[in-house]
Amino acid sequence: MTTKGKKQALGRGLNAILQSPDTDITSRDISGNYVVGAIAELPLSSIEANPFQPRDRFEEEALNDLAESIKHQGIIQPVTVRKMGYDRYQLISGERRLKAAKIAGLEKIPAFIRVANDQQMLEMALVENIQRENLNPIEVAISYQRLIEECHITQETLSDKVGKNRSTVTNYLRLLKLEPEIQKALQDEQITMGHARALLGIELSEPRMQLFNATLLENLSVREVENRAREIKTTRKSPEQKTITPLPPRHKEAKSQLTEHFNTKINIKRDSKGKGFITLHFNNDTDFERLLNRMHE
């Protein structure tokens, strides 16, 4: 088959796929060649939002700037969609570009058309957004958590998919253990990832929130928060002074009597409620047998 013939066959195959009423794209075109990954110009009106989109906030100013760029330069990077039916597509990734294209007044947008079931779609959406979009740390953490829980993958597999060290993935996931107020402050860039990691060093919620509030009020640096968190941990780990309850006279007298009777060291411990124990010391097995015989006398 000539090169020209191949191109025509591929073109007919892609056209047939785009007009197919089937829910998902078939994996091969009529010529038997794979067409997944081909780029098509799709009407914006035929693309519906991605229900798995991890990003829920877009800065209006940034979108307007991107829209201006699109007016002059066009769409540099195609969005990614999956076919849902005849002339119906669902966005997998590129929501920011899609929104900006609408603002710019475009009627069509270049798009990769891919085969994906819901789980594959979720995984692709999350991975591509994590890698390509400027998500805030909490959005990244939520995306990581969704990949683990909804796509049933391990942290090790996740680190491979997103191209991050496992320790980096773990640090992001730990952010979800923070109180909602701290997570919101991290989203709003009132504190940094460094501040959040320092606050995570405090196990209990109350002292952590106290330090968080001080961080905002005093505009503390990451180093200052780390130092204060370390002081809080050191203070809480210091051994508490135990109140020593002195033995009453009767117990002291009994201790002397028992020491004399058994001819060995005797310890008597008693708390403020009168509960305690008596300990007899022995040096070897022979001494142990001696004490037992002495008890039966």
Separation of alpha carbons 195 and 215, rounded Å: 8
Cβ-in-10-Å burial (0-12, 13-18, 19+) of 128 comes to: middle
Specify the amino acid at residue 250.
R
Cα three-residue angle 161-167-172, rounded to 5 degrees: 80
Alpha helices, H only, 190-242? 193-200, 205-218, 222-237
From the list 48, 59, 95, 297, the catalytic residue is 95
Residues in the chain: 297
For the CA atoms of 102, 106, 108, 113, the dihedral, rounded to the nearest 10 degrees, stands at: -40
How far, CA to CA in Å, does 54 sit from each of 37, 49, 85, 138, 234?
23, 12, 24, 10, 39
CA distance 109 to 106: 7
Q: Are 104 and 70 in contact (CB under 8 A)?
A: yes
Active site residue 61: no
Q: Name the residues annotated as catalytic.
A: 95
